[in-house]
Amino acid sequence: MEVSHAGRIRIGAGAGFSGDRIEPAVELAERGALDYLVFECLAERTIALAQLERLRDPDAGYDPRLEDRFRAVLPACRAGGVKIITNMGAAHPAGAARALVALARDLGFAGLKVAAVEGDDVLAQVLERDLAFVDRPGRISDLDGRIVSANAYLGAGPIVEALAVGADVVITGRVGDPALFLAPMIHRFGWAMDDWTRLGRGTVIGHLLECAGQVSGGYFADPGWKDVADLARLGFPFADVEASGDAVIGKVEGSGGRIDVRTCKEQLLYEVHDPAAYLQPDVTADFTGVCLAPAGPDQIAVSGGAGRPRPTALKATIGYRDGFIGEGQISYAGPGALARARLALEVVAARLKLTGVVTSELRLDIIGVDAVRRGAAQIEAPEPAEARIRVAGRCETLKDAVRIGQEVESLWLNGPAGGGGATRTAREVIAAASVLIDRSLVRPCVSCQVVGS
Amino acid sequence: MKLRDLAHARAGDKGDTSNIAVFAYEAGDFAFLTEHLTADAVKRFFQDVVTGEVTRYELPGLAALNFVMSGALGGGVTRSLALDPHGKSLSTALLDIDLPDPQPPPSQR
């Protein structure tokens, strides 16, 4: 097994979202010769949903798969001295740390040091100030009584602090995703928090890794054009990072997937707007000079990233109750399927009107025809062998939302010929909006516990 | 000719904004893409999807164009009524956009 050099660290990506596969992280922990294993599991609105869970159960509010993931990787990480960093703390990092300590004690890992990073919860600060949204018109007071969470994106600082006191596992709530990866670089290489170039380079590497399999062949295959071997056994990536901030991206030998210039390019610009100004809590990273070069089989050398001073304020995501969405689907097949699907949509729209269902927005799609690219552009599409309609509407009440699916379902007996496979759902919507919050109002804090015997 | 003949693409989402990064398979085609795959062309292609502006960023070093499309995700991923609220499938949908057929070299005209 390759051992990392003093001047180089190997950081693996064990998950790119909360529902991600678990075995690729085990493969990395067992065979990846890692120094650090990072799990990114916190999407934009997940933390608001977790906050609602915590309101229902004071011990909950962290990632529901935390125990499953740690049970799977802890043995190999403990044996190999691999430190773990994750945002699976969601709305309750301290609760997640307590649950992990209990699990580790049961598994016999006495001495494991678990740190929790808190302070991203800025609900009180946000409610005190009537901040304006940055991604839409309006301000906090417009959502009077509907806000359930407000979480600022913390930087790498508190994670570095936890690593400096010897934490084996660091559990956070909301932090910038690349910061989960940047933190071990700052810790091990002693980068200054105003070394914008290195922080920018580290952010490039963190950004390439944060979606795990998306840089190693996931979200990429297009048969005959961009083929990827063995997606069922997709290997998750790691980076060998130098003190300069240059790195090589790779994966465990024999795992599925593909790492080449194309997979890395696609991930480099994933969810990026201005590539010269990728805003993070610790740095404004510049991706425009990044150079990607083959360095071996399934290995890409990354260099040339840059950085400028960090943004003056921190971004915070507001989670709020946004009414209800009701939905129904039903399928048609054979000659005339498209005409029957269109008739079905007309019938549902008319029925919603006749029965007084109030929607502020209604969407009528034919899946396979115009559900993605909408409108006139799709009218000349060839007659499909099958068509499935989908009606989705936004409502003030759950009762109205339920009615939408019921009207689709009733097409079974009352709609066009041959309608089958009706399904329906109705759910409350927890939406997200963003504000900028002054750094002085955000106070991260780190706490540690050691697993007893 | 379709964009798919020259390029691959990946979509990402943030709030109500979708970005589609388009990458020339061959660096030599980047100038052709830059000339013909304009922000206006992308806006027209997605006229029934994108309600806001389309901004194009050029990355010659990566032979890439990044299209940032505001108002593209039905009011935002977390509240969209769309079947694909993240707009992940918009990337491959864009590959169907028509580009001018390449001109044969003068000797073959």
Tell me the per-residue pLDDT of A10-37, one tens digit each, with 9 for 90 and over.
999 999 999 999 999 999 999 999 999 9
Mean per-residue pLDDT of chain A: 95
For residue A248, what are the contacts with CB-CB under 8 A and spacing of at least 6?
A239, A240, A295, A299, A300, A301, A302
Helix axes A66-80, A93-107, angle to 10 degrees: 60
- Spatial contact of B41 and B97, defined as CB atoms under 8 Å apart: yes
- Other CB atoms within 10 Å distance of the CB of residue A406: 16
The b-or-e profile of A195-234 (16+ CB within 10 A means b, else e) is bbbbbbbbbbbbbbbbbbbbbbbbbbbeeeebebeeeeeb
Cross-sheet strand order for the sheet of B7-14 = B7-14, B17-24, B64-69, B54-59
Give a yes or no: residue B81 inside a domain.
no
Q: So what's the pLDDT on residue B109?
A: 54
What is d(CA A253, CA A17) in angstroms, rounded to the nearest whole number? 23
3-class secondary structure for A46-69? Answer: HHHHHHHHHHHCCCCCCCCCHHHH
At B94, which helix (H) or strand (E)?
Answer: helix B90-94
Question: By the 8 A CB rule, do A262 and B48 touch?
Answer: no
The answer to whether residue B80 sits within a structural domain is no
Q: Which A residues, 193 through 232, put their C-beta within 8 Å of a C-beta on chain B?
A: 219-220, 222, 225-226
pLDDT of A373 = 85
Residues 356-395 in A contacting B (C-alpha not used; CB under 8 Å): 361-363, 365, 367, 371-377, 390, 392-394
Q: Using CB atoms, pick whichever of B66, B82, B90 lies closest to residue A272.
A: B66
Q: Is the dihedral of CA A162, A166, A171, A175 positive or negative?
A: positive
For chain B, the domain total comes to 1
Q: Is A270 in CB contact (< 8 Å) with chain B? A: yes
Q: Which of B8, B19, B57 sits opposite A262 (nearest CB)?
A: B8
pLDDT of the residue at A377: 53
The answer to whether B12 contacts A272, with C-beta atoms less than 8 Å apart, is: yes
Task: DSSP for A205-238, please give it.
Answer: HHHHHTTGGGGTTTTT-BTTTB--S-GGGBPPEE
Domain A322-430, second-level architecture: 2-Layer Sandwich (3.30)
Put simply, whether A5 touches B (Cβ < 8 Å) is no
Backbone dihedral region for residue A255 (phi beyond 0: left; psi -120 to 50: alpha; all else: beta): beta
Strands (E), A16-164: 36-39, 83-86, 113-118, 147-152
Residue A44 has pLDDT above 90, yes or no: no
Closest approach of A371 to chain B, Cα-based (Å): 7
Q: Residue A276: is its pLDDT beyond 70?
A: yes
Q: Whose CA is closest to A401, among A380, A377, A428?
A: A428
Eight-class DSSP state of A165: T
Chain B CB within 8 Å of residue A273 CB:
yes
What is residue A6's predicted lDDT score, i.e. its pLDDT?
Answer: 56
The domain of B24 spans: 3-74+87-99
Residue B93 forms part of a structural domain: yes
Share of chain A above pLDDT 90, in %: 93
The domain spans of chain A are 8-119+154-311, 322-430
**What is the rounded distance in angstroms from the CA atom of residue A31 to the CA atom of residue B69?**
41
Tokens of A436: 């900028």
Instruction: Quick: pLDDT tens for A293-348.
Output: 999 999 999 999 999 999 999 999 999 999 999 999 999 999 999 999 999 999 99
Show the tokens assigned to A144. Answer: 């009077």
Angle CA(B63)–CA(B65)–CA(B69) in degrees, nearest 5? 165
Strand-strand pairing, A169-172 and A83-86 = parallel
pTM passes above 0.90: yes
For the cut 70, the answer to whether the pLDDT of residue A410 exceeds it is yes
For residue A169, give the nearest of A79, A108, A97, A103 by alpha carbon: A97
Query: Please, which pLDDT band fits residue A375 given cuts at 50, 70 and 90?
Result: confident
User: Using the 8-state DSSP alphabet, how is residue A374 labeled?
Assistant: -
Q: What pLDDT is recorded for position A5?
A: 45
From chain B, pick out residues whose CB is under 8 angstroms from the CB of A373.
46, 48-49, 90, 93
A46, A135, A269: which to substitute to probe chain B, counting the most B Cβ within 10 Å? A269
Are the Cβ atoms of A365 and B83 closer than 8 angstroms?
yes
Tokens in use for A29? 């922990």
ipTM value for the complex: 0.95
Beta carbons within 8 Å of A212's beta carbon, 6+ residues apart: A13, A14, A15, A16, A20, A24, A40, A218, A236, A237
* DSSP line for A405-441: HHHHHTHHHHSSTT-EEEEEEEEEEEEEEEEEEEGGG
Residue B25 is part of a domain; what is its CATH number? 3.30.70
Residue B104 domain-assigned (yes or no): no
At A348-360, the pLDDT tens digits run 999 999 999 999 9
- How much helix, strand and coil, in percent to the nearest 5, is found in chain B? 30, 30, 45
